[in-house]
A = this chain, B = another copy of it.
């Protein structure tokens, strides 16, 4: 289990190799990369700036990752989230899950993303090509995505 908040870009192969390299007991590795899109609500973007709440961010990501590890038999997991100013096409977030079973790896990665999007204290501000800047609104669909995991919560 690893959680990192960083301004630097991440390299997919290097991160996966760090996490799983040399291990021969893993069967399935899923990665999710979220990237900056060049368009938002029909406007062309120049860049996106991510602000976060240092301390709480790491605490929330660690909680979310621990929760995933309780729900699924993960052999390794990683969350990297970038902050600062990013250009269209750049990676914002990387989630990696490794498990003996493919469905566990898929579900855990999807769960991590859903939780991260609604719990981890990051905020995006978009800078449009025309110079206007706007904070991104939270999407209701993210809360809906989160709700589907509640039904399978064991208490």
How many chain A residues touch the partner (CB < 8 A)?
35
**Copies of this chain:** 2
User: Which of A59-67, A103-111, A123-131 lies at the binding interface?
Assistant: A103-111
User: Which of A7-15, A50-58, A77-85 lies at the binding interface?
Assistant: A7-15
Q: Is the CB of A32 within 8 A of B88?
A: no
| Chain A contact surface mostly | mixed
Cα of A31 to Cα of B32 in the assembled complex, Å: 7
Q: Is the CB of A35 within 8 A of B31?
A: no
> Which residues on the B side are within 8 Å of A105 (C-beta)?
32
Q: Is the CB of B11 within 8 A of A24?
A: no
**A27 contacts B by Cβ under 8 Å:** yes
